[in-house]
Structure 1
Amino acid sequence: MTLLGSRHHQHPEDFMTLRGTARRTLEPVLGVERTKRLRRAERTWRRKAAKAISPDAPQRPGSVQQGQKPEKFQPSDPFAAFPKPSSTLHEMLGRLHKRIQPETYLEVGVRWGDSLTLARCTSVGIDPDFKVTQELHGPMHLERTTSDEFFARDNPLAVFDGRPVDLAFIDGMHLAEFALRDFINIERHMAPGGVVVFDDMLPRNPLEAARDRKTVAWAGDVYKVVTVLREHRPDLVVLPLNTSPTGTLVVLGLDPTSTALDERFDQLVPFLEALDPQDVPEDLLGRSTALEPGVLLDTVDWDTLRALRHRPVGDSELRAFVDRLRELPTLG
């Protein structure tokens, strides 16, 4: 049992009410900070429970040890019809590194190091079970811990010497509540003109979007973050990209001072943790609201963004630049 009960034995409305009641009851007794620490501990327990009920990612070819059997998954359903991607995730991310030229880079979900190897600056990679097989470049700090535990530290990004994060990549747990919480934690440390990238935002069919993993290629239900950001953070620029295999999301116009998502997180839990089967929006399955990666990478004036990215939140030049990105043509 979790500190606030198990969602598997409650209706979402009951779960949300219970969390709110527990918070109101505990804060007067324990104080705000101790209550927050208690809630973080509860979230960490839930992460471990989610990992226990979801199979690990498939191992790389040749990595299955003698005597072990690889995980068996059912064949995927037919994919939805969508424009053929012209770029893979890592091709896009590599080009984005070159355009942005970040001085600081943060990554949640290192795994084999396929994306971390693209960084050429001071970088932090967070993963409780990384198995890096790629060559890494630049000052690199690997943290073998969960993102919740990492961000609960007093000064988690001390290695950046007070500099904000210019580029962040979120590819951790493939469950919506974890991805959103990672964004909430990361945005606090971002440069206002920085860029946050999510993986697995455009599943190709509902089975690939299942919370309980059933297929080899698995996006999980992190696609729900798109809806949350559009509805609850209209100040952000949210740009899905048609990359293979399971799409990418680029977020700009960041506000490290915003508390909107953190304050509404408990209210969003029923939506984020809705059980399978998943009801993936048609515009995400068909990628009609996504951009061609080249449109973003080759038409945006990244030199200007680099010059503006450390301006304060609300700077008129930075705001005007970011707002223009909303006008980029989609595939629809």
Structure 2
Amino acid sequence: MKRHEFLRDLHKVTANRNYLEIGVNDGRSLKLSRVPSIAIDPAFKVVTEIKCDVHLVKATSDDFFARENPLAHLRGGRHPLRNLARGRSPVGYWKRTTLDLSFIDGMHLFEYALRDFINVEKHSDWASVIVFDDMLPRSVDEAARDRHTNAWTGDVYKLVEILNRHRPDLVTVLVDTEPTGQLVVFGADPSNTVLKDKYDEIIAEFEVPDPQKVPETILERVPAVRPETLLSAGFWRPLVRARNIGAGRSRGLPPLRRALAEYAVGG
């Protein structure tokens, strides 16, 4: 299954109410969305028809998330009546919006993808689905930090080890999509600051000169599951139901972790 086919079906099984995309390029992935969306790219060149309510942001993702209210398009503005009903001032009140589905396909260097995840997680929760693209390079050349091939994943594959080592509370699933695989992350915790706190330490360890020492398991796609297998799993409906009724992390995450155990990297 190709990556855009997998992403199209993720929109269906997650029944997502909103969508965020980092790395728009020509719009081939954005065109799959039918819900309020935010799409970020400093140099997008959309050439396909978009069929959703979208805020196209021509900026770097770092600059976008540095804004005072980056998800304003999804929130629909201020909600003063709710505050007034509680006897509070309406000024400066924003209803928190949680991202249901996010797709990270920006700059193909691990430190950029890591910052994107840190920023996206702040606006997510345990039931959010976060997807990284280009996680299974097919060769060392394709995984180089300094691009010298037509097809290029860069070294974002390092996020697999980084997340598993520093954030074992997350559930990560590698998916064997064509051409270069994807990583699906469950169990986001917006209160967790480990990656931000250890960012410099992580960069110092993982930023190394080419050629990259890509693990054989990544090159051979050993830990990756078939996309059809993940999409047909039985946990999606309970996940959507729990998300929509606002089930808390302590109630919703444990059964999700059990359901995902057979698919998770290292699980």
The bucket for the TM-score relative to the shorter chain is 0.7 to 0.9
Pairwise CA distance, 1:154 = 1.0
The amino acid of 2:139's aligned partner reads N
Over residues 228-256 of structure 1, what are the superposed CA-to-partner deviations in whole Å (9 max), with x where a residue is unaligned? Answer: 00000001111010011111110001111
- Choose 283-292 or 307-316, whichever is displaced more: 307-316
- 1:214 to 2:148 alignment: yes
Classify the secondary structure of the residue corresponding to 1:190: coil
Query: What is the distance in 1 between the residues matched to 2:119 and 2:30?
Result: 19
- 1:242 to 2:242 alignment: no
The amino acid of 2:199's aligned partner reads F
- 1:174 to 2:88 alignment: no
Query: What is the distance in 2 between the residues matched to 1:113 and 1:148?
Result: 20
Q: How does 1:5-84 map to 2 (within 5 A)?
A: none
Query: What is the distance in 1 between the residues matched to 2:194 and 2:234?
Result: 28
Partner of 2:257: 322
Classify the secondary structure of the residue corresponding to 2:156: coil
Structure-2 change in CA distance of 1:181 and 1:323 (3 Å)? farther
Instruction: Confirm or deny: 8 A CA contact 1:308 1:318 kept in the other structure.
Output: no
Query: What is the distance in 1 between the residues matched to 2:11 and 2:59?
Result: 25
Over residues 159-201 of structure 1, what are the superposed CA-to-partner deviations in whole Å (9 max), with x where a residue is unaligned? Answer: 1213210000000000000000000000000132010000010
Query: What is the distance in 2 between the residues matched to 1:316 and 1:98?
Result: 24
Over residues 280-327 of structure 1, what are the superposed CA-to-partner deviations in whole Å (9 max), with x where a residue is unaligned? Answer: 111111111011111110123311111122646532233222332022
- 1:201 to 2:115 alignment: no
The amino acid of 1:261's aligned partner reads L
Classify the secondary structure of the residue corresponding to 1:231: helix
Pairwise CA distance, 1:273 = 1.8
Query: What is the distance in 1 between the residues matched to 2:13 and 2:133?
Result: 19
Task: Give the TM-score, by structure 1 length.
Answer: 0.71
Which of structures 1 and 2 has the bigger CA Rg? 1
Partner of 2:241: 307
Could you tell me which runs of 5 or more consecutive residues in structure 2 were left unpaired when the two chains were aligned. Answer: 76-95
Query: What is the distance in 2 between the residues matched to 1:107 and 1:323?
Result: 28
Partner of 2:190: 256
Could you tell me which runs of 5 or more consecutive residues in structure 1 were left unpaired when the two chains were aligned. Answer: 1-86
Pairwise CA distance, 1:129 = 0.2
Instruction: Confirm or deny: 8 A CA contact 1:192 1:312 kept in the other structure.
Output: no
Q: How does 1:99-118 map to 2 (within 5 A)?
A: 99-118=13-32
Task: Give the TM-score, by structure 2 length.
Answer: 0.88
Classify the secondary structure of the residue corresponding to 1:295: helix
The amino acid of 2:21's aligned partner reads E
Aligned residues with identical type, % of pairs? 49
Pairwise CA distance, 1:265 = 0.4
Classify the secondary structure of the residue corresponding to 2:126: strand
Classify the secondary structure of the residue corresponding to 1:165: coil
Over residues 34-57 of structure 1, what are the superposed CA-to-partner deviations in whole Å (9 max), with x where a residue is unaligned? Answer: xxxxxxxxxxxxxxxxxxxxxxxx
The amino acid of 1:151's aligned partner reads F
